[in-house]
Structure 1
Amino acid sequence: MSYTYTRTELEKSIVLALRTLGGSASRKDIRKEMANSGYEGLTYNDVFGFKVSKNGNKYIPFMFDFNFGIQNLNHIGYVEKPVRNSDIVLTDAGLNDDLKNFPTAEQQDKIDSYWNKKHEEYKLRKNSSETDENSTEDEVIDFSADSSDQEDTAETKWKTELLNQLMQFDPGKFESFSRLLISKMGVTIDKERGVMQSGDHGIDGFGYFTSDEFRTSRVAIQCKRYTKGSVSEPEIDRFKGVMDSFNAEYGIFVTTSSFTDKAKKKATQGTNTVTLINGQDLADLVEKYQLHITPVTIYTLDDYYY
């Protein structure tokens, strides 16, 4: 997922995502909506792709622009002041203003004035502290970051590392990992037909899911460990064809990457639908089911100390 990223202004995309999500959402859900809907030409890799620094650290450049965007929207009155562990909330202006000429000259002047002031404060703090001389400009926690930004960045960091490690798995191990995760989600893997090796039968797993109403459905599983590119429509189409041969009511398609728009559309067509799990969904599910991860406690300083 390593890629070339161009720094960009995300304020308008953030507002559009929040409007779609009803005016209030977590930072994580905002980013997912931005990636899925492609506002202002954004792609999945723009939002979640990572770079590797000279000293081997992995970081997501998009996060810096995203955090700056939240700060800018707050300063011009489009979002309420961010509160730790709370959703980002649009104000009436953020909900209703016409974005055709966004940002206006007046809004841009407010933003520029705000950051000029913040930059002077940052220089004073920098002179009284040390910065890793091996770090790139993007890797240093930007001086806009409040405690909520830093917590969000910490979560993003370990999930990026998780996806990077999953990409290093050989196909057999990734399929085994996917079946383990899906079993945690409530699917009972068929002991005879449920464990398929790469290339066998066109699927990577098979099992059964029983709903709260005690209705049992047959589930086919497909896994693609991609390091670049997205799962395309033909791959979903082929999977659906194999699902038919197993009489599967629905399928689960897991990838470390993402899905094209046509693939997403194909997944919901017909009677045998496919649940799509992209890289970020995968990381969220590992967190939800605590799958081979160890929680740690960290602390951040309150505003009192500043």
Structure 2
Amino acid sequence: MENFGDLGRIEQEASLMLPILKALRRLGGRSTTQELKRSVVTNEEWLPETVLTDLKVSKRSGHQYRDFDFPFNFALRHLALAEYISRPKRGQVVLLEKGREFKGTNELLNEQVYQISRPKWQEIVEQKKRIQRKEKVSEEVEESEEAWRTNLLMALNNLTPAKFELFCRALMKQMNIAVDENIGVKVSGDGGIDGYGYLTTDDFRTTRVALQAKRWNDQKLVSSPEIDKFRGAMDKYRAEYGIFITTSSFTRDAIRASREGTRVVSLIDGERLLDLIAKYELYVTPVVTYELDDFFTTES
């Protein structure tokens, strides 16, 4: 297949439709948009691994954005218009009967989808023109919702490594993990872990949890040797469970490595980290979208 980056926008969009249906089947027919996106990139070897982290700057607004989101979201939109999937609410995707039963090639899927979706899309465009003023307000709200995610990711990347580790330990606490006050709190010399704690389940079973935190830029993905190194650190402290957090993302080899062996390592990439921060309202304040607290603007 031709390099994804060399394809035109519509070709990119069309190339993602069948992988989206396949990913939804793997995920049980229901997924969040972010989880679905990660599954597509992880399982389609022809897609560059960096598409989830590559950022560009909008000439119009000056905000950063992920170029991959445009063809991915338009592929979702056309599949929804053709009723292969549904999007019951923002951020959720559900596989419908037509999507479950489709057995053909990506080319056949494109033909069937566009035959239905393009006339519908044209109707939507015409309707938008008729209510242009109202739509402009809606677009501004949607853009602000995406802007807070970009601003938060930039703020996380601007933290010092020590402060990012502190932040990740705070996230562990929000996830009901009792954080050890001595292990993993030093800037260096803690054997390759950045946090340690104890997770007690409803049946009072306690699991030792180790944390690794990597504040890396969007061009540097976490690879499998980093996962192996973290497992070695887990051995030192007899941790049964590991959490690896990065502001970047993970290579396919790293994802495979995290699932091997007797101890699974949970991977939290930049997008999932933003979701968790919003869920637990950790150092952010919801105001229509989210307003960043002074944690991100103070030095320590």
TM-score under structure 1 normalisation?
0.75
CA deviation vs aligned residue, 1:19-39 (integer Å, no higher than 9, x gap): 22333334343323323333x
Alpha-carbon distance in 2 for matches of 1:210, 1:231: 29
Give the C-alpha shift of residue 253 in structure 1.
1.4
Give the C-alpha shift of residue 284 in structure 1.
1.5
Distance verdict in 2 for CA 1:276–1:130, change over 3 Å: closer
- Secondary structure (helix, strand or coil) at the match of 1:102 reads helix
Alpha-carbon distance in 2 for matches of 1:44, 1:240: 23
Partner of 1:201: 191
Asked if 1:270 corresponds to 2:276, the answer is no
Distance verdict in 2 for CA 1:226–1:99, change over 3 Å: farther
Asked if 1:30 corresponds to 2:21, the answer is no
Asked if 1:95 corresponds to 2:85, the answer is no
Matched to 1:203, the amino acid is I
Distance verdict in 2 for CA 1:86–1:281, change over 3 Å: closer
- Give the unaligned 5+ runs of structure 1: 132-139, 143-149, 299-306
- Secondary structure (helix, strand or coil) at the match of 2:284 reads coil
Identify the match of residue 250 of structure 1 among 241, 244, 254. Answer: 241
Conserved? CA contact 2:88–2:94, under 8 Å: no
Alpha-carbon distance in 2 for matches of 1:154, 1:79: 26
Partner of 1:60: 66
Partner of 1:51: 56
Alpha-carbon distance in 2 for matches of 1:97, 1:26: 21
- Secondary structure (helix, strand or coil) at the match of 2:273 reads helix
Give the C-alpha shift of residue 111 in structure 1.
4.3
- Secondary structure (helix, strand or coil) at the match of 1:183 reads helix
Alpha-carbon distance in 1 for matches of 2:112, 2:194: 56
CA deviation vs aligned residue, 1:238-295 (integer Å, no higher than 9, x gap): 1211222222222221111112222222223333432222112211211121101111
Distance verdict in 2 for CA 1:28–1:195, change over 3 Å: same
Counterparts of 1:116-127 in structure 2, within 5 Å, are 116=122, 118=124
Partner of 1:16: 22
Alpha-carbon distance in 2 for matches of 1:191, 1:85: 39
Matched to 2:156, the amino acid is L
Give the C-alpha shift of residue 115 in structure 1.
4.5
Identify the match of residue 169 of structure 2 among 176, 179, 193. Answer: 179
Distance verdict in 2 for CA 1:155–1:213, change over 3 Å: farther
Partner of 1:137: none
Query: Percent of aligned positions with the same letter in both sequences?
Result: 39
Matched to 1:178, the amino acid is C
Alpha-carbon distance in 1 for matches of 2:71, 2:200: 43
Identify the match of residue 227 of structure 2 among 236, 242, 248. Answer: 236
Q: Which range is displaced more, 221-230 or 261-270? A: 261-270
Partner of 1:145: none
CA deviation vs aligned residue, 1:184-203 (integer Å, no higher than 9, x gap): 21222222224121464222
Counterparts of 1:121-200 in structure 2, within 5 Å, are 154-198=144-188, 200=190
**Relative contact order (alpha carbons < 8 A, sep ≥ 6): 1 or 2 greater?**
2
CA deviation vs aligned residue, 1:21-58 (integer Å, no higher than 9, x gap): 333334343323323333x7335542454322245312
Alpha-carbon distance in 1 for matches of 2:154, 2:270: 10
- Secondary structure (helix, strand or coil) at the match of 1:258 reads coil
Distance verdict in 2 for CA 1:154–1:21, change over 3 Å: farther
Q: Which range is displaced more, 246-255 or 101-110? A: 101-110
Alpha-carbon distance in 1 for matches of 2:98, 2:24: 13
Q: Which range is displaced more, 163-172 or 66-75? A: 66-75
Over the aligned positions, Cα root-mean-square deviation in angstroms equals 3.3
Judging by fraction of residues, say which structure has more helix. 2
Alpha-carbon distance in 2 for matches of 1:106, 1:220: 49
Alpha-carbon distance in 1 for matches of 2:81, 2:181: 58
Q: How many residues align?
A: 277
